[in-house]
Structure 1
Amino acid sequence: METPEHAWHYTTAHGLLEIVRRHRIWATSAAYMNDRNEIREGRDAIRRALEKRRPQLEDWQLKQLAEIGIDSDPTPISVFLLSAALDGDSLTLWRSYGAGGEAEYAIDFDPIVSMWPVVQNEAEQHPEPPPGYYEDAREEVETGHFAQLYDPDAASVLASGWGKVEYLGDTSRVVEDELQEIIDGLKKPHEDSFYVMFSDYQQGLDPTVFFKQPGFSDENEVRSTWRVEPWWRFVLYRVGRFGIAPYVEVSAKRGTQPLHLWRGITQDEVGLLPIRSVRIGPTRGEDDAEVTLRALLDAHGYGHVEILRSSTPYR
């Protein structure tokens, strides 16, 4: 997956203030996005492509594809998504974020710099484990003797990095190309063992999180996505348009110490966000607005960040 040159995140004045002051930005569950088919669209397209290819594949390939989860239903609620755009002065997005009458801004994040979910609870064990929480992680191997299958309290993060959204038109080959890349990454196991090796999935999330319905193509979206386990360590909740929405806070790591990527970052490790510039939205380009924004950025460690103005004559 090619890293995009820009990741412009459009937000309101309130959103910008919280991002700069707290050095964090929200990634919301994909189940609560404006696109009600978020994540499902891409997975369904891959499954349709697989059905066409199925007669040409060997049994071991089909078995490994099933193990990967190609045939399973997607789970949008478990994918946390941060949206941005390649275009930093988009009339479509200014209209979307300026609808409430609040000043709007676009933040240019450096796509090369990784951001990771912030750990919200550093307790050793779940503070209020629900019924069956630990029992589900154990298996009875013989009468009265149990084996621990996994640690349900161990922190685990999968991250995609920034990637460009692919809009799935009727003639798009991106789905077939993605499926072929997955198939090419499979390795035939020995007769006495079974293992799965696959290029995209081994490093992060299901790549179909970057597929979207073509009706949203005017947004020219780029996105970064995460999965986190267990939820009680990472996930927060807020009231949104579609009910109570789960989200995670993401940030960049402070300092140069090695990062255990699979664990997220602690509160003490939160550093400055990789912000390159901030653009003031249309009709908000008065000199006073720029002076105030400069003072805000300087006060919170972002003195290097460039301030730009929109050239869109929208009001």
Structure 2
Amino acid sequence: MTMKPTELVWHYTDGAAIMNILAKNELWAGSAAFMNDTNELLSGSIQLRKHFEDQRSALPEDVIVGLEQYIPEVRERSRHSFVLSASSDGDSLTLWRYYGRDQVSFAVGLDRNEPLVPLARLKEDTHPNPPADYDDDKYDRDEDGQIATHPEDGSPVVIFDPDSLFIEGGDWNPVVYDSAQQARIIAEIFENLRKGVEKRNSPSEPGRLRIWLFPYLMNESLDLIKNESFRDEREERITIWPNPDWKFVFHRPGPFGLVPYAKLTSLGGANHDVHEDRFATEPGRLPIREIRIGPTPYSAGAAASLKQLLQFHGLHDVKVSYSEIPFRQ
């Protein structure tokens, strides 16, 4: 993780959510497939497709076919991406208005240099209730459709174990609103994809297995691209991709059905494997350094009750502050 100067990112929320955050030491990262904004996490993919179309006439046909696999014409937000949003602005009128429509709202100041990891819902290492087709894509197959085996010992050739532990992302990153910076990101991703496809198509590439992870790791940069009209939010976000999903994905009711989400916590909690630092099995104290109370004519009472709640949870070192934006009735 690249260390940045000690600073806070601000997670805006309401009273019910902050009570849950303080009591359970967990933050909820929502599934990208269930975002309210129809273009959320899609802006980068839309731009990448347009860049691809602009370059198409200069590309060989076999490269075009390969790129179509990774740059689809119609892209859906990944159900495997989970997003936790915050802001670099701890006193944003835009965000106060969004979260403080009916009650006092809060901004939770988190130390961006303290890592957050997914909290496991199960401790097992293999799926406890796998469906019948769970292992269908696990093994490499020969031209006859039979599972390929290693010539040395006859063991099956595994392409991807669905139970393998694979966790990507987890750092705070600023959302990119600047169009010139977005264009540079898109051009770099496209060139990496093009070179990768050309390498895979090359007959000089030895061996039948050509594992190439870049297409699956490029999402973090793409997911940071957002329309510049949202610039005043100054959003910072964590995007995380945990595998296997049965181990890390929770569900809650929502307007679009049962919404998948991942719980993020700190590594200060218990873990059944003392050497594991990619996830936690019990929550640890979140790196909350300050909580700011949103604009309200009742700031004194709101502060008193918040300080009492912090004391009940032993969070005596968390600073309580107030929005400096004048309240208007």
User: TM-score when scaled to structure 2?
Assistant: 0.79
Amino acid at match of 1:240: G
Amino acid at match of 1:280: I
Of Structure 1 and Structure 2, which has the larger fraction of its residues in strand? 1
2:228 corresponds to which residue?
Answer: 214
Higher gyration radius (CA): 2
Amino acid at match of 1:265: A
2:154 is the counterpart of 1:153: no
Task: Report if the CA contact (8 A) 1:50-1:179 is conserved.
Answer: no
2:286 is the counterpart of 1:273: yes
Q: Percent identical across equivalent pairs? A: 32
Paired residues, number: 304
Amino acid at match of 1:89: D
Other structure's SS at 1:239 match: strand
Task: Report if the CA contact (8 A) 2:176-2:182 is conserved.
Answer: no
1:49 corresponds to which residue?
Answer: 51
1:115 corresponds to which residue?
Answer: 116
2:173 is the counterpart of 1:163: yes
2:139 corresponds to which residue?
Answer: 138
CA distance in 1, matches of 2:108, 2:285: 14
Given the alignment, which residue of 287, 292, 307 partners 1:294?
307
CA apart distance, 1:233: 0.7
1:22 corresponds to which residue?
Answer: 24
Amino acid at match of 1:8: W
2:151 corresponds to which residue?
Answer: none
Amino acid at match of 1:254: G
CA-based RMSD of the aligned residues comes to: 3.3
CA apart distance, 1:209: 0.5
Amino acid at match of 2:49: R
Spell out the pairing of 1:164-313 with structure 2 (5 A cutoff): 164-167=174-177, 172-182=179-189, 183=191, 189=199, 191-193=204-206, 196=212, 205-254=219-268, 259-261=276-278, 264-267=279-282, 270-283=283-296, 285-313=298-326
Amino acid at match of 2:43: E
User: TM-score when scaled to structure 1?
Assistant: 0.82
Where in structure 2 are there 5+ consecutive unaligned residues? 149-155
Relative to 1, partners in 2 of residues 1:63 and 1:258: Cα closer, same or farther, differing over 3 Å? farther
Relative to 1, partners in 2 of residues 1:296 and 1:128: Cα closer, same or farther, differing over 3 Å? same
Relative to 1, partners in 2 of residues 1:173 and 1:58: Cα closer, same or farther, differing over 3 Å? farther
CA distance in 2, matches of 1:271, 1:34: 30
CA distance in 1, matches of 2:124, 2:159: 21
CA distance in 2, matches of 1:151, 1:197: 15
Task: Report if the CA contact (8 A) 2:292-2:320 is conserved.
Answer: yes
CA apart distance, 1:237: 0.8
CA apart distance, 1:255: 7.0
